Amino acid sequence: MILCDSKAGANAWCVRIFLAEKGIDMEMQQLDLEAGENNAVDYLRRNPMGKMSLLELDNATYIAESIAIYRYLEALYPTPLLFANYAKQKGKNGMCLLCWSMSFIG
């Protein structure tokens, strides 16, 4: 797997924290947002929204958006458990994640 990442992006920063908490070491591809590399044709082919972050799987499937990446990695690497494993807490976690992610857009 390869994580398309940017040192300047808040969402990318959060994904890096998630990886560190999980103890996941992964190849990173740095994009320069100021230079517009996220708007390059090659990147837009993989992620039409042109945003950070983007996870490229080994089978050339792409997962965009930080929350989707968290969910995917949590399923793949269940320990340590960073999301709840029962319904009520899953709902609350989802609500908090959305609010937390939106606070960076503000």
pLDDT at 67: 87
Give the residue with greater pLDDT, 48 vs 84: 48
**Half-sphere exposure at residue 60, Cβ-oriented, CA atoms within 13 angstroms:** 1
| 3-state DSSP assignment of residue 13 | helix
pLDDT tens track for 48-73: 999 989 999 999 899 998 989 998 99
pLDDT tens track for 90-99: 676 666 666 6
pLDDT at 102: 60
Cis peptide before 53 (omega within 30 of 0): yes
Residues 6+ apart with CB under 8 A from 80: 21, 22, 23
pLDDT at 106: 47
**Residue 3, beta-bridge partner list:** 28, 55
pLDDT at 11: 85
Regarding the domain with residue range 2-105, which homologous superfamily does it belong to in the CATH classification?
Glutaredoxin (3.40.30.10)
Mean pLDDT lowest for which of 2-11, 18-27, 81-90? Answer: 81-90
What is the residue extent of each domain of the chain? 2-105
